[in-house]
């Protein structure tokens, strides 16, 4: 399992919720962040998520692959991440 998958699983986030969040990320990163906030995760979980992403910039892509997103969707996620880092 991916590092992000492990963190979310330990926090009790359902597989389908993760699929929906990562799917949102490919089109609208702000909507994906709002969806994560709606999960009302403990602050320590959010810090773990940020720590994983900061330590491994490919962590979101790894999670997307783990969740079974198509190569096209994973490319869209990558493009969004790259765009948000440049903007």
Q: What is the pLDDT of residues 9-56, one digit of tens each?
A: 999 999 999 999 988 988 888 898 899 999 999 999 999 999 998 999
Task: Give the tokens for residue 77.
Answer: 């996620």
Q: Please, are residues 66 and 5 in contact by the beta-carbon 8 Å criterion?
A: yes
> Residue range 68-72: average pLDDT?
90
Task: Give the tokens for residue 86.
Answer: 């440049």
| Single pTM value for the model | 0.82
Would you place residue 57 in the very low, low, confident or very high pLDDT band (cuts 50, 70, 90)?
A: confident
> Exposed (0-12), middle (13-18) or buried (19+): which is 40, by Cβ within 10 Å?
exposed
Would you place residue 83 in the very low, low, confident or very high pLDDT band (cuts 50, 70, 90)?
A: confident
């Amino acid at each position: 399992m991916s590092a992000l998958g492990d963190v979310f699983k330990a926090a009790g986030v359902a597989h389908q919720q993760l699929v929906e969040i990562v799917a949102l990320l490919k089109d609208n990163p702000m909507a994906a962040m709002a969806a994560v906030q709606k999960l009302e995760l403990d602050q320590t979980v959010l810090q773990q998520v940020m720590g994983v992403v900061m330590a491994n910039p490919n962590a979101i892509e790894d999670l997307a692959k783990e969740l079974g997103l198509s190569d096209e969707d994973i490319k869209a996620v990558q493009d969004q991440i790259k765009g948000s880092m440049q903007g």
